[in-house]
A and B are shown apart, each in its own frame.
Chain A
Amino acid sequence: MVLLEIRWHGRGGQGAKTAALLFADAAVETGKYIQAFPEYGPERMGAPVFAFNRLSDEPILQHCGIKNPDIVVVLDSTLMETIDVTEGLKEDGILLVNTQKTSKEIREQLKIKSEKTRIYVVDASKIAKEILKMDIPNTPMLGALIKVSKLLEFEPMLESVRKRLEHKFPNRPDVVENNIKAIIRAYEEVKE
């Protein structure tokens, strides 16, 4: 695999950084070389934030920012009103959005002309609210990303996320299980 670059858009508190770390963790378990890094600005709850991933079969040497991602993941669709989430996205790249809208509506809203750009949607907030009882869409979006990117195998990824969450929430098996459920549901529900 050639070097693949992902940009996550979220708002402070939505877990964009955590999702990027979970994704990297899972990819390492399958033998890939990875990077996951946040872009730290004057961070506050609710402010727009970015996180990034690099993924390759070869060692990754560069430590610069990512300007032309292959995949953009949007955790909060209201960001699209103020930020150009497609900035620098490769023409044949993938845009994955947490939204109630259809991919056609997103394509029109963002005026994406190239048919080569694939757009996927999933209502990750609904999934998060129903299963996690709060609007933290990062783990469901991770499930959707695995589906649309076809980069990693699903089952090993689930196991890796489970391990990381168990480490993070040692006394909350319910939190771990619900996140896993949310990932599976988003994996199933994401569509073009």
Chain B
Amino acid sequence: MIVARTGNEAMAEAMRQINPDVVAAYPITPATEIVQHFASYVADGLVTTEYVPAESEHSALSACIGAAAAGARVMTATAAQGLALMHEMLFIASGMRLPIVLCLVNRALSSPINIHCDHSDSLASRDSGWLQIFTENPQEAYDTTIMAVKIAEEILLPVMVTTDGFIISHGMERVELIDDDKVPEWLGERKAPYTLLDVDNPITIGMLDLQDYYFEHKRQEIEAMNNALPVIEKVQKDFGDTFGRYYPIVDEYRMEDAEVAVLVMGSTGGTGKVAVDRMRKKGKKVGLVRCRVYRPFPRERMLKAITKVKVLGIMDRADTLSTLGGHLYNDCRSILYESEARPLLKNYIYGLGGRDISIEEIETVFEQLLEIKERGRVDKEIVYYGVRGE
């Protein structure tokens, strides 16, 4: 069925069709609508979910953790400060290997207080052991939310699916919904290998784990993350074979013969593709790479994509406040260390706090990258793009 949906509506529809056993949440702009719509599905009897309106995000994720440990299929949604307040529990969820799916609407972290999009919230949770998948538009947000359930339950790690706050969360687009009965059919039931409620096979979860075994358990968790990419790929292929929409780990756009490219995440992918088309019309060989799966970092695929070009502009919608530039920039510099082919890199930190990034601005980035290619060197590696005073 083809409908018009905002990113939030699309994610709520996905949750309705998934019909999780438990949803525990606390509202926060711009993610509120997701759980607001979902609460109405609960009230209208469209889902059989046990809905827990918690008194904070910390409590919401705690309730999710308890329910997931009991074997339930569990989901929640939040943004920015909400995710920050969950921070302690994020590590508990991943450490306990609980396949919770979190719809995250990317919003700038305070202070200064701001409700609009940047990626500082999810990227501040980068090392929490959650998979992170950044989506470009409402359709992808809907599809990925459904896929995330399957991915999480197979890997036994929690998954964050993100949309860009307001730009996608409150932006309405054409979305093709899957038939209601097909989603649970494709997902099947969660089959937890161990659950707290299995009294015949009692287990302990979240226990004290000191010098004797903590390291082994952590090592297993790291291994789960190391092995996640093939699972994601398999689920994406299965989803595509079943429903006709295929998604990549790393999205490459007109990269075949590109000489320079930009690397982006989230909704800027779409804007950047239009900029690529315009540059191509002018005869400029440019391309775009979009990092869709950010954690685990798709080392091999990313290398394959970015080493096709001579100059890469890495556009980060957050800064690490470390003198080292943005997150993607650091990841890419790291994977390029052993690479024989090494494009020149320039880091553009842009769009903080929801500052718009236009097609023309990305075209200007391409022009600068082409200049760098001619000159053969980068004068300033990290620039702040679209900010006063630069």
Contacts and interface: CB of A to CB of B under 8 A. Distances in A.
A62 B271 contact: yes
B210 interface: no
A67 interface: yes
Residue picked from A20, A21, A24, A64, most chain B C-beta under 10 Å: A64
Chain A interface SS verdict (over half): mixed
A33 B170 contact: no
Interface stretch (B81-89, B94-102, B215-223, B353-361): B353-361
B355 to A, nearest CB: 10
Interface in A15-29: 20-21, 24-25, 27-28
A36 interface: yes
B208 to A, nearest CB: 46
Given A25-B4, A63-B168, A65-B358, 19 more contacts: A27-B4, A28-B4, A33-B173, A34-B4, A36-B172, A37-B167, A37-B171, A38-B166, A38-B170, A40-B115, A60-B173, A61-B274, A62-B359, A63-B167, A63-B271, A64-B271, A64-B359, A65-B356, A67-B358
B39 to A, nearest CB: 16
B33 interface: no
A31 to B, nearest CB: 8
A34 B2 CA distance: 12
A35 interface: yes
15 contacts: A27-B4, A28-B3, A33-B174, A34-B4, A34-B173, A34-B174, A36-B172, A37-B170, A38-B166, A38-B170, A40-B115, A40-B116, A61-B270, A61-B273, A62-B359
Interface of B: 2-4, 115-116, 137, 164, 166-168, 170-174, 267-268, 270-271, 273-274, 356-359
A64 B266 CA distance: 12
Contacts of A37: 166-167, 170-172
